[in-house]
Amino acid sequence: MMRYVKISEEEMKKTRKVYDEVLSGTASTLLFNVGYVIGKEIVKEVKDETDFFKKASELMKERGWVKDVVFKERNAAVTSPAEGNKCDRLRGIISAVYEAYYNQPVYCIRIKGRGCAFRIEFLGG
């Protein structure tokens, strides 16, 4: 059985600040990759579900990453992300979800001025 560890939003923000200070500008890449790992674990739990995106959304809400997330073919809209307006971990999670569903690499781009809303571009096709 998998054990889950809770972390508060405040702890996430403070951790992000430490990463930014120590890694001087490369924290975004690290946090994206952390999110990608988390996303792969979410995918393992929902991969055989009939309504893949709905189940992924439910799991992300259950784990506290978002208040809500709506997946569409080429975009994802998030309500109340745990990271606030810093969405690097979330971008990693969403990338892993889309890659698993479409079985191809994606590039997940945060849409400026829209909080944590993302556009998905499919790579190589």
Tally of residues, the chain:
125
- What are residue 87's phi and psi, to 5 degrees? -115, 25
pTM score, whole prediction:
0.89
Q: How far is CA 19 from the centre of its chain?
A: 18
Contact 46, 55 (CB under 8 A): yes
Domains of the chain, residue spans: 9-122
> Mean pLDDT for each 10-residue chunk of the chain (125 residues)?
81 86 85 95 92 96 92 92 84 96 94 84 83
> 26: which DSSP letter?
-
